[in-house]
Amino acid sequence: MELTQLESTLSDVRQIIRQYWGYDSLRPLQQQAMESVLRGRDSLLVLPTGGGKSLCYQAPAILRGTMTVVVSPLISLMKDQVDGLKACGVPAVQIDSSQTASERNALEKSIRHGEIRLLFVSPERLAMADFHNLLQQIRVETFAIDEAHCISQWGHDFRTEYRQLRKIKDLFPNASVHAYTATATEDVRADIIRQLGLQNPDVLIGDFDRPNLTYRVLSRRESLNQVLDVVRRHDNEAGIIYCISRKAVDELTRLLRKHGLNAVAYHAGLTSDERRSAQEYFASEKCDLIVATVAFGMGIDRSNVRYVMHTGMPKSLEHYQQETGRAGRDGLEAECVLLYSSADLMLWKSIMEKSASTELAAETNSSSFLEAANKHLDQISRYCRGAVCRHRALVEYFGQSFAKESCGACDVCLGETTYVEESDLIAQKIISCVARIKGRFGVGHLVSVLRGETSETVRKWQHDELSTFGILSSHPKNDLRDWIDQLIGLGVLDRLNLTMQSGFNFSAVVINQESWSVLRNQRSVRLMQPMRSTKELKAKRMRIAEDSWQGVDKDLFEKLRAIRIKIAKERGWQAFMVFSDATLREMAQVKPSNPSSMSRVKGVGNTKLENFGEAFLEVIAAHCDASNLKIDVF
C-alpha cells in the first residue's frame, strides 16, 4: 500500500471510529497497529489493559469490508465482545459449543454471504477440519489472536489448546496474523512470535504504566479490617478481591456478608452454573463486590472496577499486572491494594512444587518449570518488600524506563511508608533472639520473647531468662511481626516447616548464613513501616479520589447510571456496553440538550445515539430543569 493511499485509508479509519465508537482521536500505537493490519503484515501488539487493543483489528475489518477471525479463549469473553460490537452497530458473531447445529448453520450461511466483519472462535474450533475448510473457501486474510500470552509456556496464563494456533500459517499462508496481549516480558514476546510462526512481524510495545491506578502494598496484619477499610472507602463502587485459595475465598465472602456487604464468591471449586451466575451477577451490576481466586480472570470486561485488592501475594508480576489491570479499564482513577506476608512466598513455592508434575510441566521440563516459577516468586516478593515507586518497579520489570521522579500514585511516592530508624540494630536484636531460642518456634512466640511477655510457653522453655527477653519491648506486636516478615523476605531469616508429634504443622523461624552477615555488620538491611494514619494522609487520599470528579454532577451521574442499567437489563447486556462510566461522567459534566450536542461526548457513536440517546437526554433535561442548571456546558 502506497504512503498516500495509506494516509487516505487511515483518515477513513478515523471516520469509522467516530461513526461506530464515538471517538475523535487514536490512543498511542493504535495507528501503527492498524497500519500493520491494513498492510497485511504480521504483528504483535503489547498494550496494557484499557489501551484499546481490540479497536486495532475491529476498525480495519469494517473499513476493508472483509471478515477477520478473532481467536479468543473463553465463551463468556467472546459473548461480551460480540454484544459490545453489536451495540455499536458492527456485524459480529461467535461460533461456540453452546450453540445448536441449526444456529451454527445459520451463522455459517451469513459468513459465506459476506455479511460478517468479525468472527469470534476458540482455538479448538479453529482446529476443526470442516471449520478451517469453510475459512479457506471464503479466503480469510486476517487473524487476530486475543490474549496471545496464553500460547507461551513462560506467560502467566499458559493454555495447551493455544499451541494449535501454530497451524494457522500452514493452513492460511497468505493471511496475516496479529497477536494482542496486555502483559508480556521480552521472553514471552519472543515465544509468542516463535509459537505463532509470525513472519518478520511489526512488534509494537505500549507504555506499561497505568497512571490512573494507585498502588499500595501493605503488610498483612488484621486482614479483615484491612479489607473492610478498602471496601468502605469505595462505597457503591465495583471491586474485585483476590485470594490465593478457594477456602480463603469462601471464608472472606462469608465475613463480608456478615458485615452487610453484598459479596459473591468465584472459584474453580464451584459448579459451572454457580460460576456463571456469580460472573453475571457482578457484570450486570446487581452486586459490586466479587471475591475470587485467579480463576476469575480474562472473561471480566466490566470497565468501571474502581479497586482491585489482593489478600495475598500473586505468583508473578505478570499475574499482578494482569489482575490489577482489571481496575480502571475506562481510564478513570482506581486503587490497587496488595496485602503481603512472607508466608505467601512459602505457600506458593509449595503449590509450585506440586504443579511440577502436571501437564504444564510435562509440556516443558519440571526442573525448568520450577526454576522459572521460583524466579517469578522471588521477583514479586522483592516488589512487595521494596521501597521504590510501585509504578517504576512495574514498568522497569517489563523492560521500560520510567522518567518521572515520583508517580504521585503509590504508597511510596505519596509518603505513606517510611524507613524504620536503626533498622540494622533492630534486625540484629531479632536475629539474636532467633539464634537463642534454637529455631523451633514460630513468629508469635518470637514476638512474645522480644516484647518480654511472660506467657506460659515462654516460662515453660525458660525463654524469659534469655538476654534477648524484652529487648524490643517498646515496639507494638504488629510492627515486630512485620519486621520479622521483612527479614524473611530479605533472606536474612528463613521459615522451616515442622511437624509436631501430635501431627500439627507449623512454620518455625530459623537463622541462615545471611543472618551472620547482619550480626557481623557485613550486611545492612532497611526495614519499612507504614506511616501512622493521620488527617493529612486521609485528606491526600480524598483529594486523589475527587480529582476526576471535577465539574461532574454526581447526582446526575447516578441517574444516568440507573437508566444505563435498565437498558442493559432489557437487552441482556453488561451495563458498560451501553455507555462507559467515563462517557456518563462527561454527560453529567456537559449536560447535552439535544442529539447534536450529545454526539460530541466521547463514546457516543451513531448507533448508540440513535438507540439510546433520547432516553439519556430525557433524564438530563428533567434533572437540569428541576435544579435550574445550565445545559451544553462544553
User: Alpha-carbon distance 485 to 584, whole Å?
Assistant: 44
- The DSSP 8-state label assigned to residue 311 in this structure reads S
Residue-level pLDDT at 478:
84
* DSSP state letters, 459-499: HHTTGGGSTTTTTTTTS-HHHHHHHHHHHHHTTSSEEEEEE
What was the pLDDT predicted at 433? 96
| Residue 628 pLDDT exceeds 80 | yes
**Amino acid letter, 284:** S
Distance (Å, rounded) from C-alpha 486 to C-alpha 313?
14
> Please, what is the Cα angle at 264 between 245 and 253, to 5 degrees?
55
* Burial class for 56, CB neighbours closer than 10 Å (0-12, 13-18, 19+): buried
As a whole number of angstroms, the distance between CA 543 and CA 524 comes to 37
Measured CA to CA, the distance from residue 240 to residue 306 in angstroms comes to 9
Residue 536 is predicted with a pLDDT of: 54
The pLDDT value recorded for residue 533 is 56
Sheet with 213-219, side-by-side order of all strands: 213-219, 334-340, 305-310, 238-242, 289-292, 263-266
Return the DSSP state at 436.
H
pLDDT at 415: 86
Task: Out of 11-25, 304-318, 527-541, pick the least confident.
Answer: 527-541
Domain covering 554-627 in this structure, CATH number: 1.10.150.80
Grade residue 302 by pLDDT with cuts at 50, 70 and 90.
Answer: confident
What pLDDT is attached to residue 357?
62
* pLDDT category of residue 528 using cuts at 50, 70 and 90: confident
Q: What percent of the chain has pLDDT over 90?
A: 61
Encode pLDDT of 373-427 as tens digits. Answer: 888 888 898 898 877 899 999 999 988 899 888 999 999 898 888 889 999 999 9
pLDDT at 361: 47
- Amino acid 545: pLDDT: 58
Q: Which backbone phi and psi does 470 adopt, to 5 degrees? A: 75, 15
Place 238 in a pLDDT band, splitting at 50, 70 and 90.
Answer: very high
Fold (topology level) of 213-416: Rossmann fold (3.40.50)
Looking at 138-142, 277-281, 305-309, 342-346, which range is the least confident one? 342-346
pLDDT at 181 over 70: yes
Query: Per-residue confidence at 549, pLDDT binned at 50, 70, 90?
Result: confident
Cα angle value 329/98/78 (rounded, 5°): 20
- Top CATH class, 3-205: alpha beta
| pLDDT at residue 364, as a whole number | 53
State the cell numbers at 490. 530479605
Angle at 587 between CA 581 and CA 591, to 5 degrees: 160
Q: Where in the chain is the domain with CATH 1.10.10.10?
A: 423-530
Rounded to an integer, the average pLDDT of 337-364 is: 75
Stretch 219-242: mean pLDDT: 93
Pick the CATH number of 423-530 from 1.10.630.10, 2.40.50.140, 1.10.3720.10, 1.10.10.10: 1.10.10.10
Q: Where in the chain is the domain with CATH 1.10.150.80?
A: 554-627
**pLDDT of 540 higher than 60:** no
Least confident of 393-402, 418-427, 533-542, 615-624: 533-542
Q: pTM for this one?
A: 0.81
What's the pLDDT tens digit per position in 412-468?
898 888 889 999 999 999 999 999 998 689 899 999 999 999 989 999 999 999 999
| Cell (9 digits) for 79 | 459473548
Look at residues 452, 435, 451 and name the one whose alpha carbon lies nearest to residue 494: 435
Q: To the nearest whole number, what is the mean pLDDT of the chain?
A: 89
Range of lowest pLDDT (203-212, 264-273, 489-498): 489-498
Say whether pLDDT at 190 is over 80. yes
Residue 124 clears pLDDT 50, i.e. is over it:
yes
